[in-house]
Structure 1
Amino acid sequence: MKIKHFLALLFLGFCVDFVGALFKIQHWAGADLLLISGMALKALGVVGLLLKLLTHPKLREYLNW
């Protein structure tokens, strides 16, 4: 996957998390599911982004690993 895909996952996670927070404030059903899925999307986006950045050859050259 490309970096833009991981950034899209991260953005989608923030959007779902925001909607889940609104559901939680209004005491509507499904808020817990939205918050958990938003957190999972954000975690996948961050982990994928870090893996993609740390395995990039120019970063290894820059950090002298």
Structure 2
Amino acid sequence: MKAKHAISLLVFGYCLDFIGGLFKILHTAQADITLTIAAILKVVGALLFLYKLTNYPKIKDFLER
């Protein structure tokens, strides 16, 4: 998996979070499910991105600057 896939999961999670918030304001039945899925996608995307970042070969050079 590439880093762009992890970032895509994060962005999609934030989009679903916005939609879930709108559903919550409108008191629809799908709000809780949408917010739960959004939270899961954001956590998975963030963990994958951190995994890719820590396994990058030049991370020590990047962090020392």
Give TM-score, length-normalised by structure 2: 0.91
Following superposition, which runs of at least 4 residues in structure 1 exceed 2 angstroms of deviation?
Answer: none
Residue 26 of structure 1, CA deviation: 0.5
Q: Which runs of 5+ in 2 are unaligned?
A: none
SS at match of 2:36: helix
Q: Confirm whether residue 3 of structure 1 aligns to residue 25 of structure 2.
A: no
Correspondences of 1:36-47 after superposition (within 5 Å): 36-47=36-47
SS at match of 2:58: helix
Report the AA paired with residue 44 of structure 1: V
Length, aligned pairs only: 63
Correspondences of 1:1-65 after superposition (within 5 Å): 1-60=1-60, 62=61, 63=63
Percent identity over the alignment? 46
